[in-house]
């Protein structure tokens, strides 16, 4: 049981390049989330998907787009990367009914550097 | 979402009980109190969640007074492996998804 899988684990981009961060969960969860974490800071919500077919903006959505491809997969795209997007990106998922007992399940993160 | 305030850092010796207190003065009636643990280079991990009084699981206990304006996470007999950042969150549980807002957390350092 893998839980939440993120790819890639590390990535270096040049300013202006684009890329897609992939996330997949195998727990049949309805909701999925993308967070970013900057050094010494907490996590900030970028986008979330309450259920398959829906996406909504979080606290810091500018410069990002998301796609809920199916129930398992939720991708995050940077169209034109900027140095300010250097961060660690975490994907998470949750089951609505179980969220009180088990909370969110997080992936291990993608460390992105934009030069 | 209610804002939370918790200490930036704490130190403890191995084998001691550690209590981390979080204040959430503007908590709403439907809000739950949730704690997460994050090790370096890993995503946060759910520890415990409660609404009122006391909740205990195999990892920790959560104490919530009657007014619910604060909560205390208690870690019994900590070991070096408990060194991590601990986040206190207040989250509305509803019919749909709910968003978690993470502050800076409390960095716990366990000393041998």
- End-to-end Cα, chain A, rounded Å: 36
**Interface contact B98, partner A, CB < 8 A:** yes
In tens, the pLDDT along B67-84 reads 999 999 999 999 999 999
Contact A51 B97 (CB under 8 A): yes
Q: Which of B87, B97, B105 sits opposite A31 (nearest CB)?
A: B97
Mean pLDDT, range A32-47, rounded to an integer: 90
Judge whether residue A110 has pLDDT over 90.
yes
| Best A3, A42, A100 residue to mutate vs chain B (most B CBs within 10 Å) | A42
**With an 8 Å Cβ cutoff, are A92 and B43 in contact?**
yes
Which of B3, B87, B104, B110 is closest to A39 using CA atoms? B104
Q: Does B63 touch chain A (CB under 8 A)?
A: no
Nearest to A96 among B42, B45, B97 (CB): B97
Q: Choose from A4, A43, A88, A94 for mutation: most chain B CBs within 10 A.
A: A43
Comparing CB atoms, the residue among A42, A45, A107 nearest residue B43 is A107
pLDDT above 90 covers a percentage of chain A that reads 77
Stronger pLDDT, A49 or A40, i.e. the higher one = A49
Q: Quick check: A69 contacting B, CB < 8 Å?
A: no
Contact, B90 vs B50, CB < 8 A?
no
Q: Give the per-residue pLDDT at B107.
A: 96
Contact B102 A43 (CB under 8 A): yes
pLDDT (0 to 100) of residue B98: 63
Q: Is A45 on the interface with B (CB under 8 A)?
A: yes
Cα B62 from Cα A103, distance rounded (Å)? 15
Quickly state the pLDDT bin for B95 (edges 50, 70, 90): very low
- The sheet with strand B18-23 has its strands ordered as B18-23, B70-75, B61-64, B53-56
């Amino acid at each position: 049981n893998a839980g939440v899988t993120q790819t890639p684990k590390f990535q270096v981009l040049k300013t202006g390049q684009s890329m897609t961060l992939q996330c997949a969960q195998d727990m049949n969860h309805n909701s999925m989330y993308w967070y970013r974490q900057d050094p010494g800071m907490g996590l900030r919500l970028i986008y979330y998907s309450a259920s398959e077919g829906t996406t909504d903006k979080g606290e810091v959505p500018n410069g990002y787009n998301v796609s809920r491809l199916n129930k398992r997969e939720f991708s995050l795209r940077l169209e034109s990367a900027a140095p300010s997007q250097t961060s660690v990106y975490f994907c998470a998922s949750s089951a609505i009914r179980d969220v009180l007992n088990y909370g969110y399940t997080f992936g291990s993160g993608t460390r992105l550097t934009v030069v | 979402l209610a804002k939370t305030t918790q200490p930036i850092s704490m130190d403890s010796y191995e084998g001691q009980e550690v209590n981390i207190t979080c204040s959430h003065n503007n908590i709403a009636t439907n809000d739950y109190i949730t704690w997460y643990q994050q090790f370096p280079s890993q995503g946060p991990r759910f520890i415990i969640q409660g609404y009122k009084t006391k909740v205990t699981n195999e990892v920790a206990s959560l104490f919530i007074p009657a007014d619910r304006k604060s909560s205390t996470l208690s870690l019994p007999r900590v070991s070096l492996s408990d060194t991590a950042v601990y986040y206190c969150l207040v989250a509305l549980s509803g019919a749909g998804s709910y968003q978690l807002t993470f502050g800076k957390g409390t960095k716990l350092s366990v000393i041998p």
